[in-house]
Amino acid sequence: MKKISLFLCVLMTITGFMLGNPETELSEYLDHETIDNIMRSLWLYRGGNYLSEELSEEIITNLLSAKNQNESYTQRMQHRLTWMMNNPDYFTPDYTQRYTTFLDYATSLSPQKAYVLTQFLGLDSNKGYEEVPRVGYLYIPKDHAPQFGFQVGWHFFVGNCVDEEGNEYGIQLMFWRYSLLPSQMARYFDLTDIENQVIEMHFAISRAGDRHYRSKPIVVGGTTGLVEFKSNPFTYVMGNNAIFALQEDDFTPLRLSAKGWDKSHEHEVEIEIGITIEQMKKVVLNGNQGALPSVGGVGTLYYSITNLKMIPGDSYLVIDGEKIDLVEGKFWFDHQWANGLSPEGNPRDLLVRMVKTQSGPEPSGWDWFMVQFDNETEIGMSAMHTLENTPFYFQTGINAPGVMTAAVTGIFVDEEGNSTDQNGVMIVSEWVKSIYSPYPELYWVTDTWYPNSWEFRFEGEGVPENIKHFFLKPIVEGGQSGFFAAGAQYSEGGVDTFDSAGNIIGKGFAESVSYANTIENMLAIVGLPNNEDIRQALEEPSISGFDSLIVDLYLAWPENQKKLMKLLSDMQ
């Protein structure tokens, strides 16, 4: 009887859509934020109104399916929390209080809320996902595909373009995906790989001399039927937003198509791109044949295409109704997938995990950069956050932080596409406050200081002349910050590249992650109160005294020390 009743309910609801207002009917089954994301992903949003009458019957059926209901997302997440409590990792803090508290409070989860909740899970959160091997051994073009068995991954495009009048634009488009459940658990709930995903789109345009336009992060669950992937020709779709190859058997020419809405100022601005790009250099494998880093099954698999030429004629962007034809540009593509990155997870190797218990936590976050020089060479760089630079993170005071110096690693690509690793120093002496949000009702303004110019120095044998000393400066003033759908803030935008004499020698992009403390905002998004129960649950526990004793005894044994040294040596 229950199945029959459910069928009749769905049938009557669909009939109601045909006769009445789809938006009104949808609101009986889905929360407002979920509806908003769905409508924006389908480009059915206009100035605060939804064009719900344009929803197809197929889409309506998917949206009303049992798998797509908040009740189902809640059930699946509660199952995962219970499973984690019943199957704890060895030599790991006890998260029973945290997960029990979540079970008590998180009783109505949308796809986005379930996704936010995963960011509060403990070090055991990456159990059950595919592990990162020590050596990447990536297979291109096969590995252009989203790797749904891994915890998190992204397809990331950034570039700088010029219009007919010489105006410059920095453009970012990223499809970021998260597997809400480990694959085996997803199959238990009869979810396909795609149905198990939450996909969010990051989209921004900076216009030099104007400002940074950033879309509200649009996030949808795979159970909506709005996420699709096909390997040949490569086609990755989220609603009406798409990354797709224009011919079979080749990754490029590739078309980038996206639309979003920026509400950071009084007047909401619609932005859009339709851009075609073509690969000019071979794929670069980062780290150890594409594994960077990889320690005990935790890390990322990572490759880049550093030079993608924009094809004019059918490449354009739109800002607030103004269509702008683009005549020249270059893009950079990163595809990365990971285990234990978001949130931080346990090494799956037991010995590595035991060693990890002996070290204190490092701050999360990084600064990342790409530069495409005028001489057809490129460099990608990163500087991980460190304990020494903690005074520069989470800063919201009246005065800007001082001068920050950090070690930076880079991979330099020459004219022929050959790559070499480089080591240098990054110096930040200028900062900008983040005083805007693309959607302030949901993502709060943080007033956080972010880096706003960068100096780089690379030294030693084999360092190419053009990267020994250079500077990056944003193409707009006022900052280029945005948000992940889970609530974390970051900065990302186009930059000009200068030599020490002040001459422009290239274009690039700069990214700064985990400078803002957004915990309270994240709690609000997921619907958790900022009360004493939640605050206590989020306190980081330590491993038990017994586990600590076992670790000390194990590592004190000479044979185990030799084993550990060999393991660490193999990971270099």
DSSP string, 555-567: HHSHHHHHHHHHH
Q: Which tokens belong to 191?
A: 């979810």
Element (H, E) at 511: strand 504-513
Backbone Cα Rg of the chain: 24
Instruction: Give residue 7's pLDDT.
Output: 41
Closest CA to 482 of 193, 264, 183: 264
Q: In angstroms, rounded to a whole number, what is the distance separating the alpha carbons of residues 201 and 482? A: 12
Per-residue pLDDT of the chain (572 residues; tens, 9 = 90+): 334 344 434 444 444 444 346 666 678 889 999 999 999 999 999 988 999 999 999 999 999 999 999 999 999 999 999 999 999 988 899 999 999 999 999 999 999 999 999 999 999 999 999 999 999 999 999 999 999 999 999 999 999 999 999 999 999 999 999 999 999 999 999 999 999 999 999 999 999 999 999 999 999 999 999 999 999 999 999 999 999 999 999 999 999 999 999 999 999 999 999 999 999 999 999 999 999 888 889 999 999 999 999 999 989 999 999 999 999 999 999 999 999 999 999 998 888 888 777 777 788 999 999 999 999 999 999 999 999 999 999 999 999 999 999 999 999 999 999 999 999 999 999 999 999 999 999 999 999 999 999 999 999 888 999 999 999 999 999 999 999 999 999 999 999 999 999 999 999 999 999 999 999 999 999 999 999 999 999 998 888 787 888 888 887 888 877 777 766 665 54
Instruction: Report the C-alpha gap between 85 and 81 in whole angstroms.
Output: 6
Residues 6+ apart with CB under 8 A from 516: 394, 434, 446, 448, 488, 489
The label of the residue with tokens 């400066």 reads 473
**Sign of the four-CA dihedral 445, 449, 453, 456:** negative
Residue 465 has φ and ψ, to the nearest 5°, of -60, -40
* pLDDT at residue 568, as a whole number: 60
H-type helices in 419-512, by residue range? none
Q: Which long-range contacts (CB under 8 A, 24 or more apart) does 540-548 make?
A: 540/93, 540/361, 541/93, 541/94, 541/95, 541/97, 541/98, 542/93, 543/91, 543/92, 543/93, 543/357, 544/94, 547/90, 547/91, 547/357, 548/357
Closest CA to 62 of 29, 93, 95: 29
CA distance 494 to 158: 8
Query: What pLDDT score was predicted for residue 570?
Result: 56
CA-based nearest residue to 81, from 56, 61, 106: 106
Q: What φ, ψ does residue 120 adopt, rounded to 5°?
A: -100, 0
**Which of 508, 423, 522, 512 is closest to 471 using CA atoms?**
508
Q: Determine the Cα–Cα distance for residues 426 and 308; give it in Å rounded to an integer.
A: 26
Instruction: Give the three-class secondary structure for 550.
Output: helix
The confidence score (pLDDT) of residue 223 equals 98
The pLDDT of residue 24 is: 66
pLDDT score recorded for residue 15: 40
- SS3 state of residue 391: helix
Delineate the domains of the chain, giving CATH numbers in brackets: 1-64 (no CATH), 142-525 (2.40.370.10)
Q: What pLDDT does residue 274 have?
A: 98
- Residue-level pLDDT at 189: 98
Q: What is the pLDDT of residue 477?
A: 97
Query: Do the beta carbons of residue 278 and residue 333 sit within 8 Å?
Result: no
Element at 241 (helix H, strand E): strand 241-245
What CA–CA distance (Å, rounded) separates 41 from 502?
A: 42
What integer pLDDT is reported at residue 22 of this predicted model? Answer: 64
In whole angstroms, give the CA distance from residue 509 to residue 235.
Answer: 25
Indicate the pTM of the whole model: 0.94
Distance CA 235, CA 420 (A): 32
Select from 531, 40, 490 the least CA-distant residue to 240. Answer: 40
* 8 Å CB contact between 317 and 271: yes
Of the candidates 185, 199, 225, 201, the residue with the CA atom closest to the CA atom of residue 67: 225
DSSP-assigned beta bridge partners for residue 293:
none
Q: Is residue 274 within 8 Å of 314, Cβ to Cβ? A: yes
